[in-house]
Amino acid sequence: MKRIVFALIFCLYLATGVAKGGELAWMSNLDDAKELALQEKKPIILFLHSRRCFYCPKMIEEVFPDPQLQKFLKENFILLSLDTATGSDSIEEETADQAPERFIVTMTPAFVFMGPREEKLYRKGKKHMIIYGYWKADELIKWGKEALKRFDKLYGDRYGRKSNEKP
């Protein structure tokens, strides 16, 4: 039964990307994103945002639509977006409190790069790779390439990825 539910979620995930004309289809459930990441053997990019954040909407409106960034992220990552605000501070109240406490940050936007089992990609797997702030598309791609390099180096064998693959 669990596989059927996951298959439905996965189909909805794919359909959402198509329905939006190629826009990024961010997932909003950590457990579903982790399961999909395990199946696709990809790391996760977690976009943490908040209503009080000035730059979060700018990232969504100005950076995420970039075709090169969209192509790069879709090919290499499972996309997860979580609201770090609580209650009425969230962008939409139904998305409030999405982020588990371990991912609450004091500054947004923030991007956390991690493996499918929340593996850490920084300092030989001892810390999460987190970048804070507003980034242009080409800069975000550079960070993503660095995250893929670290993911493949630390966990490539575990997920059947070649360490020398170029993103």
CB 121 within 8 A of CB 113: yes
Indicate which CATH number applies to the domain containing 38: 3.40.30.10
Task: Pick the range with the lowest mean pLDDT from 93-107, 110-124, 139-153.
Answer: 93-107
Q: Rounded to an integer, what distance in angstroms lies between the CA atom of residue 143 and that of residue 78?
A: 15
**DSSP letter assigned to residue 61:** I
34 or 92, which is more confident? Answer: 34
Rounded to 5°, the CA angle 75-164-149 comes to: 60
Could you tell me if residue 3 is inside a domain? Answer: no
Residues 40-61 have pLDDT tens digits of 999 999 999 988 899 999 999 9
50 found inside a domain: yes
Spell out the long-range contacts of 121-126 with Cβ–Cβ below 8 A and sequence spacing 24 or more. 121/43, 121/147, 121/150, 121/151, 121/154, 122/150, 124/154, 125/154
Evaluate whether residue 4 is within a structural domain. Answer: no
| Residue 20 domain flag | no
Q: How many domains does the chain have?
A: 1
User: Does any domain span residue 49?
Assistant: yes
Residue range(s) defining the domain that contains residue 35: 26-155
Q: Give the model confidence (pLDDT) of 52-104 as tens digits.
A: 899 999 999 999 999 999 999 999 999 999 988 765 444 454 544 466 777 77
Please indicate, yes or no, if residue 130 is contained in any of the structural domains: yes
Which is higher by pLDDT, 129 or 162? 129
Residue 122 lies in a domain: yes
Q: Let me know if residue 10 belongs to a domain.
A: no
